[in-house]
Each structure stands twice: as C-alpha cells, then as structure tokens.
Chains A and B, each alone.
Chain A
Amino acid sequence: MSDDFAKVFSNLNLKDVRVDSMGNIRITNPDIAKQIADMKGAFDADALADSSNFGTCNNTACMAPAMDQLAQRR
C-alpha cells in the first residue's frame, strides 16, 4: 500500500480539502477520493488510538516555537 499511497497523495491538492461545521474534514477531489477508496485496507479499519497524542510533543522534531518566533519577527 505504501507505493499506492505515495502515488495518490503526491496528487493531493489542499484546495480539495473540505471542512464542515461538525469538524468533518474530507478530500473532495473525486479522482483522489476514488483512488483512496480503492486502496486495499483504506478507511476500513476502526480508528487507531495513538497514545502519543497527549498534546505534548513527544518527539524531538517539534519546530513550532522556532517557526512561531520567526513568523513574529517578520
């Protein structure tokens, strides 16, 4: 699925993202949506709990503070 994934999402345009008042965020481009639906296993599993999702970055890749400071200086 990884190769399929890379191919499909390299075509993803953020203009194709739709949001609604219930917080649903979906990809509306019909071609991409179909390709995603056709990918084996896509969207058929229950959502996965990610216990890293504490709201505290548990990775060392967090760039937010530096980006925040940079944006404020400009």
Chain B
Amino acid sequence: MEAGYNFPNNGDSLHLAENFKAAWNQNHLHLIIMPTEKCNFRCVYCYEDFKIGKMKPAVLAGVKNLLRTRVPTIKSLEINWFGGEPTVALDTVLEVMETAKSVCREHNVYLRAGMTTNGFLLTADAYRALVDHYVVDYQISLDGPAEFHDTTRLQANGKGSFEQIMANLDAIYRLPIEAGEILLRLHLTRKNEYVLNDFAQWLEIRYGQDKRFRFTLQPVENLGGDADLSELVLENQERGWGENSHPVPSDEETSGMERKHDESYVCYAAKANSFVLRADGRVGKCTVALNNDYNTIGELKPDGSLSLDKAKTARWFRGWSTQNQADLACPAASVFL
C-alpha cells in the first residue's frame, strides 16, 4: 500500500455505528493544523482574533516529530490545514507535508490532506505544489457574485477579493489534475439570498465539467466575532434552497455538483483520533471556540509528544455515551456547560 490519493472514502453519509468506528479507530490520525493564525482577509463575520502568528520552529519541530513517532503505528493519516490563512504560511505547510509524505511512504500509510483557504493566494503554482505534497482537498468560501462577495470577504487592506479568487479557480480548472475536491462553500446571507441560486448555476456552467469542483450551501453564522451581523444572518426557517431562493430550483434542476449536508454528521471534535494543532503549540478539539479553556486539552512538545489532560479530553466524547446526535454534531454544548 503506497501513500497516494486512493484514500478509502466514506461517501456522503455514515451511520452512527460506522461513525463510531471511524472516530475511535486508533489506526487513523486526523490532524487539523494551523500553520499561522494570521490572515490576509478581514471577513466581516470572522470570529478569529489573529493574535497568534506563524508557527515557531519548536512547534514546527513538534508537528514533524509527532508524525515521525505516530505514523509508524497507524494505517491512514489525514491532515487538514486551517488558520488564520494557511497559504500565508505556505512554506510551513509544504515543510510539514514533506515530512508526512516521506514517513507515510516509508511505512505504507495512506496520506490525504486538505485545506480551508480563502483562495486568494491559491495560484496555479501554489495548488500544483500542494497537490504534489498530497494536499488535494480544498474548501473555499464565496459570498455570491463580486458585488456581494466584495462587501463581506475583504482583504486586510479593505479591498475586494472576488476577481483574484476566480482567476485562481479558473487557472486551477485548466490544470490537468484530477485528484481531490475543490468544495466551494457558498455563504447564504440576507443580502445575497435572492441571487445565490443563479450564482450556483453560473458556477456549474463554469466548472461543472470538472469532477473536482463541488459546492455546498452554508448560511453565514454569528460565530462569536465583534461585528453586528444582524443584516447578514438569516433566521433558521429562511435557510437553504427554500422559498426565499429565487428562482426556486426544481428537483430536476438540483445540481449534481452540490454536496448536501449529512444528517448524521459527527463533528471532528467528537472524534477520538482528531486533534487541532494550533500555531503556538496548544492542542485543541474545536476550531471555532478558540479562546475557551475547555478547548485547550493539552500541549504539543518539541519532541512530538502530546501532553493531554485526560479529563478535558474526555468531555468531548460525551455524545458517544448519550448517543444524542446533537452532541455528536456539535459536542461544544455538552463540553462547555
């Protein structure tokens, strides 16, 4: 078995029991790594504070040493790059992936990686370099056409970002690469709800022939930032391709490019084989509640060992004993209360 793109895939839906197997399988390791918590964007609804900069050498050494010690004991490794904006620290991403690639190849371990990125710095060259290092899955957010996107997904200098992101996506589309997925996360807001369906159809015409490209609909949420989002956040009953979407897509018009939400979704934070490695070496479970002490379950040491607080770690698994789907979809409620 060689490291490569043919990672065992779950399809779109897993039952609870199968989710359990995936979540507690210690032959698998899932790392969400934040190479920097700085960002080149200032999206109006962002919940992060950008206080922690690029990963220091001791933390970087810890990540690489963790891979060297743990990979020989597992069968599959999944790495997701998050931030901040991971492409701002592309050199760190590639350095870690070089180690992951090497050690996975040596021990016949499946390797697959992805990245949540704003897409602004994801040029064709950067994408090609990342794919060469097994970073094949991408999630890129779009807030609708330029006139909407450029009012909410702003660069740090206040300028819009739509044109550059689309230029990058066009260039990636033209590359002769078939691996992985480029998931366009379409943010639904009060302002763009009337145009988002047309925008999705426009994207399908543009990229629908390429199996890498898919999209998912996601309402903008208030995730804890300081901004007043009342003009953007929709009420629960207004979300989705519902009556507020104009024109309303019929069943026949439902796009094969759309990835639907999984009703049995289990958050990575509820999984026993999933960790968030922050740029400052803290180990967490959730990528949203970054300032909550319950979410700091330990520390990554330079030698690659993890110093984990057993009691704090175990709180994230309560959903498995209650078997409450809500606790598994978002364990934060049972952890923080």
Contacts and interface: CB of A to CB of B under 8 A. Distances in A.
Chain B at the A interface: SS class = mixed
A50 B223 contact: no
B61 interface: no
A54 to B, nearest CB: 5
Interface residues of B, number: 87
Given A23-B70, A47-B75, A69-B224, A57 B288 contact: yes
B168 interface: no
Interface string A1-35: 11011100111111101110111111100000000
Contact of A65 (B223, B261, B329): B223
Interface of A: 1-2, 4-6, 9-15, 17-19, 21-27, 41-43, 45-65, 67-72
Given A17-B310, A48-B18, A53 B332 contact: no
8 contacts: A43-B27, A46-B75, A49-B10, A54-B114, A56-B139, A60-B239, A64-B286, A68-B336
Contacts of A25: 24, 26, 272-273, 313
Interface centre among A9, A21, A60, A63 (most CB of B within 10 A): A63
A68 B337 CA distance: 9
Contact of B112 (A21, A45, A49, A67): A49
Interface of B: 7-10, 14-18, 20-22, 24-30, 32, 47, 66, 69-70, 73-76, 78, 80, 82, 110, 112, 114-116, 137, 139, 181, 183, 185, 216, 218-219, 221-224, 239, 261-262, 265, 267-268, 272-276, 286-289, 291-292, 294, 305-308, 310, 313-315, 317-318, 320-321, 323, 326, 329-330, 332-333, 335-337
